[in-house]
Amino acid sequence: MPEAFYLPLGEGRYEPTRATESPWDSGAQHGGPPTALLAHVIDGTAGADMRLARVSVDFLGPIPRHEVRVEVSPVRPGRLISLSEARMIAGDRTVVVARAWHIATGPPPPVTGERLRPPALSEPGTGPLRPDLAGWGYGRAIEWRYTHGGHGTLGPAGVWTRVRIPLIAGEKITGLARTLIVADSANGLSAVLPMQEWLSIPPTMTATLARVPAGEWVHMAARTRLSDDGLGIAHATLCDPDDHLGEVTQPLLVRKR
């Protein structure tokens, strides 16, 4: 197991390790780690009383698994709300762009809405597990405990996830990173067509977060719905053992291979 998803090289540069490896191309990164890295860097520029409330990430092509650099710039500075943008650049090409809204925290409101009651934490090895996960970097870097569905099972899926390693070597992983490393997996978890025969490509992912998890575990309840003209939407509801965390949405390009 690599020591982290990324090794810091200084001056905004990072070396992705095998933990970022895509299941479809060993030379490319899965979308989850780049999403978490860009959000983490943006979050480091926000004030102490600001919390990331939404991040939208656009994947502009395959994300190579070699040295990248990250640049951040403000879009709409503000005291109560702010919008920032981060770019992941490989060589001379921008491969991922993320925009994140931060909202200032404040006193608790008198009501918070209906509580989401998460499923019980499953036992290790719960649910079907594809044998090829043993050789897939991103798959091995996360512990998956299914509450329904599973790898190789088509349709809706529920799974408890625990990221096993830090996002960046030498830094303690945050609750935000734990959430976003797995958020881009909604489509893969809940595919309704066999991926060996059908492409299901999310060019972008949006995560809207009410809060971050209090501990190591994040549950994803994922489902996918397809239209009759080659598009679809993957959606996941996120929670921790206490309550609701947020929502994930991915539009999909669906084509037969």
The one-letter amino acid code at 184 reads D
DSSP single-letter state for residue 132:
G
Cα(166)–Cα(171) distance, integer angstroms: 7
CB 116 within 8 A of CB 243: yes
Q: Alpha-carbon distance 29 to 65, whole Å?
A: 6
Residue 129 has pLDDT above 60, yes or no: no
Summarised one tens digit per residue, pLDDT across range 130-188 is 444 446 899 999 999 999 987 778 999 999 999 999 999 999 999 999 999 999 999 99
Q: Kindly report, residue by residue over 2-55, the tens digit of the pLDDT.
A: 999 999 999 999 999 999 999 888 999 999 999 999 999 999 999 889 999 999
What pTM, to 2 d.p., does this model score? 0.94
Q: Are 15 and 67 in contact (CB under 8 A)?
A: yes
> Contact 5/30 with Cβ under 8 angstroms?
no
Domain segments of the chain as ranges: 6-104+123-256
Q: How confident is the model at residue 122 (pLDDT cuts 50, 70, 90)?
A: confident
Find, among 252, 253, 197, the residue nearest to 223 by Cα.
Answer: 252
pLDDT of residue 127: 52
Type of residue at 146 = Y
Query: To the nearest whole number, what is the mean pLDDT of the chain?
Result: 93
Nearest-angstrom CA–CA distance, 3 and 159: 24
Tokens of 222: 């994922």
Residue 116 in tokens: 């989401």
Mean pLDDT of the region 77-98: 97
pLDDT of residue 125: 61
Please name the amino acid found at residue 84: S
Please give the angle made by the CA atoms of 153, 157 and 162, to the nearest 5 degrees.
110
CA 218/CA 205 separation, integer angstroms = 18
Whether the pLDDT of residue 128 is over 70: the answer is no
**Does pLDDT of 123 surpass 90?**
no
Q: What are phi and psi of 139, to 5 degrees?
A: -60, -40
Residue-wise pLDDT tens digits, 212-240: 999 999 999 999 999 999 999 999 999 99
The CATH number of domain 6-104+123-256 is 3.30.70.270: no
Distance CA 205, CA 146 (A): 22
192-210 residue pLDDT tens: 999 889 999 999 999 999 9
User: Any bridge partners for residue 68, and if so which?
Assistant: 14
**37 SS3 class:** helix
